[in-house]
Amino acid sequence: MFRDFTPQERRVVLSITFAVAVRMLGLFLLLPVLSPYLKTLEGANPQLIGLAIGIYGLAQALLQIPFGYLSDLYGRKPIIVFGMLTYVLGSVLAGLAGSIGTMIVARFIQGFGAVSSAMTALSADLTRPQVRTRAFASIGASIGLVFTFSIISAPLIAGKLGVPFLFYFTALLSLLAVLLVAIKVPEPARKEREIVLSLRNIYVLLLDKDQLFLNFSIALLHAYLVGIFTMVPYELVYLYNLPKPEHWKIYLPSLLLSLLFMVPAILLAEKRKKFREVFSLGVALMLFAFLSYEFERSIIGAVLMIFFFLLGFHLLEPLVPSLLTKISHRDMRGLALGLFNTSQFVGAFAGGIWGGYALKHGHLMLTSMGVVLALLWLALSLAWFSRDTVLRES
């Protein structure tokens, strides 16, 4: 993958890939274990559990574009280092938290370091156009590997060492990432930066039907992700009496099958231009996931929900941003990605609140709404792909 990279490009991409992977590790490691742990904190109730899970996404959504803009004004590295150190502070505070209120504050501080856009921009600044796609592919692949590792290992690690250990572990790795970025990655010259904040461009993208559809898609996908992993691990522990260290037996087979399914499906979309078919299949799998737990209210239904969700998630998670890069104008691609990332974190916040509401009022609050939204998403998908978009020439 790195054969045509210069030594500096290789060093830059590996350092940024590690930093991004660490940030996502802090998110994904907690996903399958956080809601059962939060129940043990002083003052916890279902709504506050959902808020503690989702508020990380709210902070990220609020600050994604401002941090990207500040990185244009003051440099990428200072903003990235500041954001990573803020994440370290929030992680340590979360590990020490004994009450749900302290945990909510800690999770907000964790999300305050919204540096995803700045990291993406830094990678673009310091790589040549002919290797830039591979640089982004490296970052994307690391996120997929981190997700797989986290979902399988988190229940085992948390079962033996406790959830606070996960916070401290990711804080330590984040400090290492800060050192790597500070030492190994140069600050690009101002003339190399291409992203300029324009209120007119924001207005144009907010009204663009293609951008709106893809923003909606990534927001809903991550609302599903956080909502499901707020409710299901909690119910596995407290409703079905399945200890956290045993959860990997559910996640591992589902992940392996979904990854095996993903590769030929994505190749079919890219090589045979079957974007509509693969995308619609991914949304249909989301529908099957919610229907499974809607009609089979047992641990079997929960397992089927996780299985179908992960099948669909691994189709849609790489496909949605890929479609965005195909339809967005090159001169506004950075801003388009910033709005896209913001939508993703808005969805994550909504998913936490949604999952917490379902913990209090019953699983039907999650599954019934999930079915309705999946049907809407499927209808919008078919309508969007029927339009004469640039995908026909991609």
Q: What string of DSSP letters covers 62-103?
A: HHHHHHHHHHHHH-HHHHHHHHHHHHHHHHHHHHH--BHHHH
What pairs with residue 153 in β-bridges? Answer: none
Q: How far apart are CA 298 and CA 293, in angstroms?
A: 8
Residue ending a domain, choose from 147, 163, 197: 197
Quick check: 76 and 118 in contact, CB under 8 A? yes
Tokens representing residue 78 in the block: 């200072």
Quick check: 320 and 217 in contact, CB under 8 A? yes
Query: Which structural domain, as residue segments, surrounds residue 202?
Result: 198-394
The per-residue pLDDT for range 233-280, each reduced to its tens digit, is: 999 999 999 998 899 899 989 888 888 888 788 778 877 888 889 999
Q: How far apart are CA 294 and CA 246, in angstroms?
A: 24
The per-residue pLDDT for range 278-297, each reduced to its tens digit, is: 999 999 999 999 999 989 98
Q: What is the largest CA-CA distance in the chain?
A: 59
Report which of residues 121 and 368 the model is more confident about. 368
**Within this chain, do residues 155 and 242 fall inside the same structural domain, yes or no?**
no
pLDDT of residue 30: 93
Quick check: 334 and 202 in contact, CB under 8 A? no
Looking at residues 213-229, what average pLDDT do you find? 95
Tokens representing residue 164 in the block: 């606070």
Token pair 């913990």 is found at: 359
Distance (Å) of CA 42 to CA 49, 102, 366: 11, 10, 25
**Within this chain, do residues 353 and 242 fall inside the same structural domain, yes or no?**
yes
The per-residue pLDDT for range 300-344, each reduced to its tens digit, is: 999 999 999 999 998 898 888 878 877 776 666 667 777 888 899
Q: What string of DSSP letters covers 305-324?
A: HHHHHHHHHHHHHHHHHHHH
Percent above pLDDT 90 for the chain? 48
**Within this chain, do residues 165 and 273 fall inside the same structural domain, yes or no?**
no
Quick check: 292 and 304 in contact, CB under 8 A? yes
**Within this chain, do residues 193 and 205 fall inside the same structural domain, yes or no?**
no
Residue ending a domain, choose from 197, 212, 228: 197
**Within this chain, do residues 193 and 204 fall inside the same structural domain, yes or no?**
no
H-type alpha helices, the chain: 7-28, 34-38, 46-74, 76-96, 100-112, 116-125, 129-161, 163-184, 199-207, 209-238, 248-272, 275-295, 299-327, 333-361, 364-386
Q: pTM for the full model?
A: 0.84
Predicted confidence (pLDDT) at residue 201 exceeds the cutoff of 80: no
DSSP state of 42: B
Q: How far apart are CA 232 and CA 309, in angstroms?
A: 12
**In this structure, what CATH number is given to the domain that contains residue 312?**
1.20.1250.20
Quick check: 51 and 356 in contact, CB under 8 A? yes
Q: How far apart are CA 306 and CA 225, in angstroms?
A: 10
Report which of residues 118 and 159 the model is more confident about. 159
Residue ending a domain, choose from 197, 224, 245: 197
pLDDT of residue 173: 92
Q: How far apart are CA 181 and CA 391, in angstroms?
A: 36
**Within this chain, do residues 159 and 209 fall inside the same structural domain, yes or no?**
no
**Within this chain, do residues 205 and 172 fall inside the same structural domain, yes or no?**
no
**Within this chain, do residues 157 and 39 fall inside the same structural domain, yes or no?**
yes
**Within this chain, do residues 16 and 71 fall inside the same structural domain, yes or no?**
yes
**Within this chain, do residues 237 and 181 fall inside the same structural domain, yes or no?**
no
Domain count of the chain? 2
**Within this chain, do residues 287 and 386 fall inside the same structural domain, yes or no?**
yes
**Within this chain, do residues 121 and 208 fall inside the same structural domain, yes or no?**
no
Name the average pLDDT for the chain: 87
Q: How far apart are CA 181 and CA 188, in angstroms?
A: 13
